[in-house]
Amino acid sequence: MQLNLRCVLIVLLYLVTLGGAYAQDRTITGRVTSSDDNQPIPGASVVVRGTTRGTTTDATGTFRIQATRGQTLRVSFIGTTTQDVVVGNADVLNVTLKQEANALNEVVVTALGIKQEKRALGYSVQEVNGSELAQTQRENFLNALNGRVAGAMITPTSGNPGASTSIMLRGISSIGGNNQPLFVVDGLPISNNTFNQGALVSDSPNRNNDYQNRAADINPNDIESITILKGPEASALYGIDAASGAIVITTKKGTTGKGRITYDNAFRMEDAYRFPKFQTTFGPGDNGTFTTPTRLYFGPRYPSDIPMYDNIGNFFRTGFTQRHNLSLEGGTDKTTYRLSTAYTDQTGVIPVTQFKRLSVRLTGSTKISDKLEATGTLNYINTNNIKAGKGNGSTLLGLLFWPVTDNAQDYLNNDGTRRRLNPNSDAQDIDNPFFDINKNQNSDRNNRILGNVSLGYDAAPWLNLRGMVGVDVYSTIGNLLFHPQSNRAFSQRGSIENFTEVNEQFNGQFLATAKKQFGKISTQFLLGSALEDRRNNVDAVRGEQFYEPDFNGINNTPPTTQRAKNTLTRRRLLGVFGQLTLNYGDLIYLNVTGRNDWTSTLPIENRSFFYPSVSTSFVLTELPGLQGGKVLSFAKLRASFAEVGKDAPAYQTQSNLAAQVTTGGGLAYGVFGGNPFLRPERTRSYEVGADVRLFNGRLTADVAYFNRSAIDQISAPRLSYGTGFILQYINSGTIESRGVELQLGGNPVRSGNFNWDVLANFTRNNSTVKSLPADQPEFYIADTWLFSNVRNSLFVGQPATTFGGFDYVRNNNGDILINPTTGYPIKTTNFVNIGDRNPLFMIGLTNTFRYKNWNLSALLDIRRGGDVYNANELYLYSVGLSTRTLDRETPRVVQGVLRDGLENSANPTVNTIQVTPITRNDFYNTAFVESDFIEKGINWVRLRDVTLRYTLPQTMLSRQKLIKNASVFFTGTDLFLLTNYTGADPAVNGLNASTGGSGAAGFDYGTIAVPRGLSFGIQVSL
């Protein structure tokens, strides 16, 4: 590995040093206007032909670029004819672009980094400019994508620094496997793993701790653009890892000219302002009387004169984040370079929590000869994260439970030991939130290197050969400590768990691309191969019974309590693929692909499998009579079909032995039974759509309908214990997904000083379970069993995003059945469908206003429907803190009929049993029905982000020679939320992003809501 990294570094340094000699560059300025109304065109592309140097025009249509005499500037904009202008002696070049109604020359990056005209694509893709993401000032760029991409469901796991984020494109395709897309950076895949706590000695579920998803390591300011390939049609060439789509990231490269320095910063303040509601009327006790010790709030009313403390307000702080980005770029016509550094320091709204990231990235490219070109990138990232727990036992639940009559800030005795609510009953006490964050420790740090080198050779005018190799290596060191006086480790007298994860991913690709023209038919044929090797190693150790209560180290525990665990995973994938593209007169496009993969995780006889795709595009405006229309500028129809495979987790074809961590050790069969007959999971999908542009592109619409079926699902249902195993991966189960996506764009106002752009996306999709493994009545994700009897369950014929839980038992007429002894409702003893998390539809609405040098952009995120499990409310309800329990003194009769044998007769016995809850606590803490805490049809309107930017005019900057461009900005994130949800925030995830299936989006339990933030900063170019 060290040799590979040295080779990458040597090549990069070579590329940079080739740029030592500079041509006689000078600064060319100018203004781009429209021939129709002589108004400026903001966002027009200005590129020096034959180089990678380029820029875009600002809000006034003005551009500035480095070029030499004799070079050609290519100026382009959507819906206009591209203009080439030769640089002469003049330093000012003004360009007028003519509208071209029948052109759609946008180029997007698709699979394998191939650049294609958007008009040629037979499937839906969406591109997001990197500057849009960077200006949100979010640390995780996936959160910045939220609301900007049709068909994307993006859910952050909490509002803590360094929290992970999950993303799914077009819903669920795998019952229990990975549904997140493949991440590709500059043509090669990278890891987006989130650490799974199953590798720890404690084998913990992924409920109470979080680890950042590794794609979030990428510095948003290094991103040039992101292309979202939403389905197998668009990503079939990437193979099995792209069965759920792909996120293709193109990073910024150097531009030719004298070295240019760019610096920007951002300073953000954050405020946690949305919390679950709780009652402060009744105090601790049982059945209306004060009792101690107790963990219930069913006691008498608080006296009116008793002092109360705002423990929540006293606990949370104002979060503060500072970000600094510095880049240097330049080069010659043959060689360019870009060096960027970024530093982020974030302190969260929970005291002690912190996230730091340092990123250093070097990119270079050079033309070694007229036919040979080399590019390379090396990126080092270091992150440090100090975290707070979530879920059961979290600081949020501790704050809600802590008595308002006690000052939680006073958490230590005079001798430094923990102050307890109930000194004589450790078992009945809970962790004081201040004690928890200051004495229990939870952190991880990560070091990562991303590198790739690419060589391109023009073997003939019609043939290009390209080879790429890449490496993605990171190590994570984690530490989780529970103090001996903490309730979480009181019986163990303290516990510590450390782990070291090393992940290595090596990728190689070779592509041969041939292009030929035969009259009106242009052809392109691509042939390639790919090799991927993944290695993951986790070493974990756990110890208990601390010698010294405040010392953090495994040596602080007796060797007899220490247990170690090693988890090794190896996977190798080899693929060959081909693509044929035909273009008939820019009217009809046909694209056919095929790929065959060999994977190491399947049995030998099933490890090789082939899958195809075909797509077509028909450009209607190339037909005679439709060309040059003043209203219909462009229109095309498209259709596609694809199939893609997916392999199994490693080491599931044979039963394997696992080390035992109990006293005596040894080896025994693990939880999973092997299956030597596993075969690939298959996903088949088709899509139809249309792309229409009116009035020279001022009004656009893109609509897509997709239907996807995932068959032969690889999932692990439970076995009969008589087999000697608990779970086994098998091929069984089918999920069908379908949906509609709509993207609308408009330019309602375009004048000399004012411009208004609108971009909207609409998503409606759903997934249905057609069959389940081994004909089970229910399949569930065990980690989602967070609190009480609600979990992520799948039932045949139902949506793939349902809540499984306990519901009321009813008679044939639908009446609730009542226990004739207690007067309480009877609930089911098996899990049934009690809700669906999938929204009816989602809308993202972006408005951008430009007035002279001012720019205002705002994104609204709108969601209609979808259910949320308010487990926080159920917890508060069961302990007497919910506002729903304030009527506890009021007698009531539960509406229903008695289960007395007459419930299904013509005259069932109506319930008349009166219950007064204040004298019967079990009405709240045992007689509840989980389905009552599934909040139905949750809607929201959320201001995701808003940015106001002012660019200093050139007339002001021209008075000095140091600063070439400068701007200041203010950005707000998550400033307001309008919702009918009674909890804190319905955009929640009860687990971290490592969980498969549909995860725990919509489970609200012990999770801090995303805080609102306000940022300000500057950006300057020298």
940 — pLDDT class (breaks 50, 70, 90) = very high
31 — pLDDT class (breaks 50, 70, 90) = confident
Q: Is 463 exposed, middle or buried (0-12, 13-18, 19+ CB in 10 A)?
A: middle
* Confidence (pLDDT) at 105: 60
271 and 197 within one domain: yes
475 forms beta bridges with 447, 502
92 and 122 within one domain: no
pLDDT at 238 over 90: no
* Confidence (pLDDT) at 424: 72
**C-alpha span between 538 and 203 (Å, rounded):** 12
Give the range of the structural domain holding residue 508, as residue numbers without chain letter. Answer: 107-874+938-1021
pLDDT tens string 392-403: 889 999 999 999
DSSP 3-state assignment of 14?
A: helix
Q: Work out the percent of the chain whose per-residue pLDDT is above 90.
A: 71
Q: Is residue 880 part of a domain?
A: no
pLDDT at 8 over 70: no
Q: Is residue 929 part of a domain?
A: no
- Arithmetic mean of pLDDT, 610-619: 94
463 and 343 within one domain: yes
Tokens of 509: 């690709």
Q: What is the CATH number of the domain that holds 246?
A: 2.40.170.20
* Confidence (pLDDT) at 596: 94
- Arithmetic mean of pLDDT, 689-712: 94
By mean pLDDT, which of 421-430, 475-484, 684-693, 950-959 is the weakest? 421-430
- Arithmetic mean of pLDDT, 849-862: 94
861 forms beta bridges with 844, 942
* Confidence (pLDDT) at 659: 78
452 and 374 within one domain: yes
Q: Is residue 209 part of a domain?
A: yes
What is the dihedral sign for C-alpha 127, 129, 132, 133? positive
116 and 79 within one domain: no
* Confidence (pLDDT) at 339: 96
Q: Is residue 15 part of a domain?
A: no
* Confidence (pLDDT) at 99: 65
* Confidence (pLDDT) at 426: 64
181 and 85 within one domain: no
* 37, 72, 97 - which closes a domain: 97
447 and 306 within one domain: yes
* Confidence (pLDDT) at 3: 44
- Arithmetic mean of pLDDT, 775-799: 93
pLDDT tens string 49-72: 766 566 778 767 788 888 888 788
Residue 784: φ, ψ to 5° = -80, 0
Q: Is residue 715 part of a domain?
A: yes
179 and 51 within one domain: no
Structurally, how many domains does the chain consist of?
2
* Confidence (pLDDT) at 100: 57
414 and 387 within one domain: yes
- Arithmetic mean of pLDDT, 238-242: 87
Tokens of 770: 């057609």
- The per-residue DSSP string of 970-1007 comes to EEEES--EEES-SSS-SS-BSS-TT--TTTTBTEESS-
Tokens of 356: 């730091």
471 — pLDDT class (breaks 50, 70, 90) = very high
417 and 320 within one domain: yes
* 51, 75, 97 - which closes a domain: 97
479 and 360 within one domain: yes
Q: Is residue 120 part of a domain?
A: yes
Residues recorded for the chain: 1022
- Mean of pLDDT over the chain: 90
CA 428 distance to own-chain centroid = 39
CB 681 within 8 A of CB 714: yes
Q: What is the CATH number of the domain that holds 38?
A: 2.60.40.1120
What is the dihedral sign for C-alpha 157, 162, 168, 174? negative
233 and 140 within one domain: yes
